[in-house]
Chains A and B, each alone.
Chain A
């Protein structure tokens, strides 16, 4: 790890000022992603601004929504009574990620900003357009078992690894960010981006902006929500495919459906067409199977991840069955 300058900020303003005049400065929150990447020289900021003392840890009910501070810990959010009661989908997704120790360190903002786990991104001896623009994509023709099947480009086929973000995109969350010119609000679905020909950009946050909080509008999805994650071992592994499913039901009839998929794209992948196909239908495995087929339209596999084309729809059906109480 290279040497760097270290600064501790106590307010949002000080934190944002800490980034000014320094293109190689980064915030550090839990450190669980950044310290890992710095040890491997994948990232080498020359200055770290420690934001852990900025008071942004609150989880609170506001008018018609719940607000979660960017520095709330993943474990704190997962275990919070308000989240357990109103957004169990988010609790489940958080607890499906990483380990208890990591969730005690990882923050909401850091989780959103975590980088891909693509092995070509991690290995500085190999080409990667995300790490080193223009060097090529090693995964395209390489070992691409963990990689994307939706929204890929010739430049990059990496996936965003977060579980938390899959639940948040399904719950129609918004992200509040602050910069030198004040605050702005970004719909969660627009926060992360597709690789296109700028895979070095994971999301739309500017270099001098900070995530302040995430807001989830109240909904009626809490009784029929399920996060289903398939991985190489039972726990403590990244998703091969995961699905967040939540339904608002009128007896056996679906009024509103939310579906999002993880492990399949460069961003949390919302399945809007499939959601629309479910509205007004009576719950059944057949209905779910049809929705899953719609969801998978446009998927494109690479040499080693073709299994995701089969696994994907099965995980969608299982998540929906669990959400609807059919299992």
Chain B
């Protein structure tokens, strides 16, 4: 009992302390917006936005597949869990959860990244595209069509990640030949071994000249 009490107290202190800091910092930031450069300079030492304290959620704004989302998240929430569990966008898959398989690949500001190794809070104000955001209405993205045409999957679990990665691979200019495609798609593991057909699908889209 005693032990319980003594651990609880510092926690409370910590959080009220930090809330004060948050208010302080927020008012400094407001001050910067309206103040002359000297004030901003004085505040520079403190120009860290204190976003949250442990055990608190924080407002996070993301644009997901073109739609603005306002969320309240714990800082430790990964982008992957946020997409799947808060936004019900379950197209993005959790394969390993440790950066080793590529199943969770999404685009952030147009670049392919691993959503499992990314904290959602780090993407404040950024644009996220998932597999659900690729098709235009009923019309599939050319890469989606090419995967179907070339049988670029069997079980399909790695496929959303493969397709997001493939679209980016062409945009980056890393799909100029088969060797390049294999190298720059190596971050997407396929347990079913659909690799040769995935390469064919990417080559077709690349040669079809459509880049996005």
Residues of A within 8 A of B (CB): 1-11, 13-15, 17-18, 28, 30-32, 35-36, 38-40, 46, 48-50, 52, 75, 79, 95, 98-102, 104-105, 234-236
| Of listed B45, B99, B121, B189, residue having the most chain A CB within 10 A | B99
Beyond the given pairs A11-B44, A38-B76, 16 more chain A to chain B contacts, judged by CB atoms under 8 angstroms and listed by A's residue number, are A3-B76, A4-B75, A4-B76, A5-B75, A6-B51, A6-B52, A6-B119, A7-B51, A31-B118, A35-B78, A35-B117, A35-B119, A100-B186, A102-B114, A105-B114, A105-B117
Q: Which residue of A lies closest to B43 (CB)?
A: A14
Contact B55–A14 (Cβ < 8 Å) = no
Contact B54–A46 (Cβ < 8 Å) = yes
A48 to B53, CA, bound (A): 10
Contact B174–A100 (Cβ < 8 Å) = yes
Interface size counted on chain B using CB atoms at 8 A = 46
- Majority DSSP secondary structure for residues of B touching A: mixed
Chain A residues whose CB sits within 8 angstroms of the CB of B182 once the complex forms: 234-235
Q: Which residue of B lies closest to A35 (CB)?
A: B117
Q: Which residue of B lies closest to A96 (CB)?
A: B183
Query: Shortest beta-carbon distance, A238 to chain B, in Å?
Result: 11
A50 to B53, CA, bound (A): 14
**Any A CB within 8 A of the CB of B172:** yes
Q: Interface digits, B84-121 against A, CB 8 Å rule (1 contact, 0 not)?
A: 00000000000001110010010000011110011101
Contact B50–A14 (Cβ < 8 Å) = no
Contact A104–B111 (Cβ < 8 Å) = yes
Query: Shortest beta-carbon distance, A18 to chain B, in Å?
Result: 5
Given A105-B117, A105-B118, verify A99-B48 contact (CB < 8 Å): no
Contact B187–A101 (Cβ < 8 Å) = yes
Contact A100–B172 (Cβ < 8 Å) = yes
Contact B45–A1 (Cβ < 8 Å) = no
Contact B53–A5 (Cβ < 8 Å) = yes
Contact A102–B187 (Cβ < 8 Å) = yes
Query: Shortest beta-carbon distance, B79 to chain A, in Å?
Result: 10
| Of listed B53, B113, B124, B189, residue having the most chain A CB within 10 A | B113
Contact B48–A14 (Cβ < 8 Å) = yes
Given A4-B76, A13-B47, A235-B183, verify A28-B122 contact (CB < 8 Å): yes
A32 to B172, CA, bound (A): 21
**Any A CB within 8 A of the CB of B197:** no
| A–B pairs, 11, beta carbons within 8 Å | A2-B76, A13-B45, A17-B46, A39-B98, A100-B168, A100-B184, A101-B165, A102-B117, A105-B113, A105-B117, A236-B187
**Any A CB within 8 A of the CB of B146:** no
A40 to B98, CA, bound (A): 9
Tell me which of B97, B105, B121 contacts A39 (CB under 8 A). B97
Contact B75–A10 (Cβ < 8 Å) = no
A52 to B125, CA, bound (A): 13
Q: Which residue of B lies closest to A76 (CB)?
A: B111
Contact A17–B122 (Cβ < 8 Å) = no
Chain B residues whose CB sits within 8 angstroms of the CB of A13 once the complex forms: 44-45, 47
Contact B102–A101 (Cβ < 8 Å) = yes
Chain A residues whose CB sits within 8 angstroms of the CB of B187 once the complex forms: 98-102, 236
A162 to B119, CA, bound (A): 23
Q: Which residue of A lies closest to B174 (CB)?
A: A100
A9 to B184, CA, bound (A): 32
Given A32-B117, A35-B78, A100-B184, verify A6-B58 contact (CB < 8 Å): yes
